[in-house]
Structure 1
Amino acid sequence: MTYLKTFVYAKCKEYLRKPLWDRFLYLADTRDSIPWCTVGDFNVITDTDEKMGGNPYNMRKSMDFIATIEACGLTDLGFNRPRFTWSNQRGINFRIWKRLDRAMANDQWLQNMPQTTITHLSSVGSDHCPLLMEMNTRVDTHIKYFRFLNCWTDQPSFEEIRIRVGTSS
């Protein structure tokens, strides 16, 4: 199966991320039938719930990213705990937490690998948590039923078995 995975390290400054969003739009437009998943540090949040501590977040900073996600048909894959993936690692009174790292996929990816999961692992030696991505292709659950063929009923051994089964009940 052919699929596309992109790994991202986005710039910290909002205006420097614009070329990345343009590249995403290009990829979505030219490869719309290929399963696509993108994973990484996007350096932006999509909801005020993805930030804790510090000054209130201005969602205007996220509008280009949110519009790009929607235009590309990407869906956030969610995550298993912990909630935030980045911390400024300052003292407890000045600490800021954000979910800057994520994985997203298009509909084709979700159809082929619906069991894809993301786990935020503990950060060790970094201000970011590593992401563990586990992928499983869709298992075809089509049940193949036994088909009885009448051509075997003419055989003497079949008649003998049928008689034995019929007499034992």
Structure 2
Amino acid sequence: MGKGYIAVVGQHKISGHKCCVVNVYAGCTQKEKKSLWEELSSFKDSSQITVWCLCGDFNAVRRRIERQGAGTADFKSEIKGFNGFIESNMLLELPIVGKKFTWYKPNGVARSRIDRVLVSEEWLQCWPMCKQYVQKREVSNHCALVIKCLDKDWGPKPFRTIDAWHLERGFEGMVANRWKSYANHEDNIIGLKEKFKLLKADLKIWNRDVFGNLNSTKRIIL
């Protein structure tokens, strides 16, 4: 438990997966949000658990369009910081179903999408069909979010990278060398798939060894 969050660690009874679910209620100021991001990042980085779900009121948006009716306020710092937190922790946002906004001012003048569900890649490997469903707003100014997992196969998840990797000296050379080290396969399509699978595993190790916890490691790129 910390300022702005409560975390519960447990084992999923059916699958046996050990996972961590974090309920978030962020403060209003940028200082409070930044402190929360740093504490959650340190907590996640120090944990041996890989199956994570962070959900609740982050009090931050990822895009300017997610806040409407907020006047001329500039949210660039908030957006950059929040997206940086998500990217550095290799989190993914579940697809949203229902309303586009999750918070509404009582008079209806302003609305925002400040509530959301973020999960680790390992969570999606366990429950690949998870989505976040926005419920009707009733008593609270916030809409409740419900996570549902429907068993429908949409195909393999896309291969993804982090932009900061490409700015790191030696990254491209490392990728080229690792790619050459993988054995070729008689079937080119299957071989390509297997190579991407091996590269994905190597990139996760490289990211952990080189970057570590991005909120505690200061890097200056010239």
Aligned to 2:77: 60
Output the CA distance in 2 between the equivalents of 1:109 and 1:133: 12
Counterpart AA for 1:52: Q
What is the CA distance between 1:133 and its match in structure 2?
1.2
Work out whether 1:88 is the aligned partner of 2:105: yes
Determine the C-alpha separation between the residues in 1 that align with 2:101 and 2:72.
16
Matched with 1:27 is: 43
Q: Name the counterpart of 1:13.
A: 29
Distance across 2 between alignment mates of 1:116 and 1:9: 22
User: Is the CA contact 1:113–1:138 (under 8 Å) kept in the aligned structure 2?
Assistant: no
- Residues 14-61 of structure 1: per-residue CA shift (max 9 Å, x gap): 111222111221133123651111110000101012122231452222
2:124 counterpart (100, 106, 110)? 110
Residues 51 and 57 in structure 1, CA contact (< 8 A), matched pair in contact too: no
Give, as a single letter, the amino acid of the residue that structure 2 aligns with 1:38. Answer: L
CA positional deviation for 1:138:
9.9
Q: Kindly tell me: are residues 72 and 137 of structure 1, through their superposed partners in 2, closer, same or farther at Cα, counting changes over 3 Å?
A: farther
- Taking structure 2 as the reference length, the TM-score comes to 0.56
Q: Are the counterparts in 1 of residues 95 and 132 from structure 2 also a CA contact under 8 Å?
A: yes
Structure 1 counterpart SS, 2:82:
helix
How many matched pairs?
136
Residue aligning to 2:146: 132
The TM-score with structure 1 as length reference comes to 0.73
Whether the aligned pair in 1 keeps the contact of 2:20 and 2:49 (CA below 8 Å) is no
Aligned match of 1:164? none
1:70/1:42 CA distance change after superposition, 3 Å: same
**Structure 2 runs not aligned, ≥5 long:** 1-16, 154-222
> How far did 1:129 drift?
0.3
* Cα 1:48–1:57 shift into 2, 3 Å: farther
**Contact in 2 for aligned 1:3/1:34 (Cα 8 Å):** yes
Does residue 71 of structure 2 align to residue 71 of structure 1? no
Q: Relative CO higher for 1 or 2, CA cutoff 8 Å, sep ≥ 6?
A: 1
Partner AA of 1:103 in structure 2: V
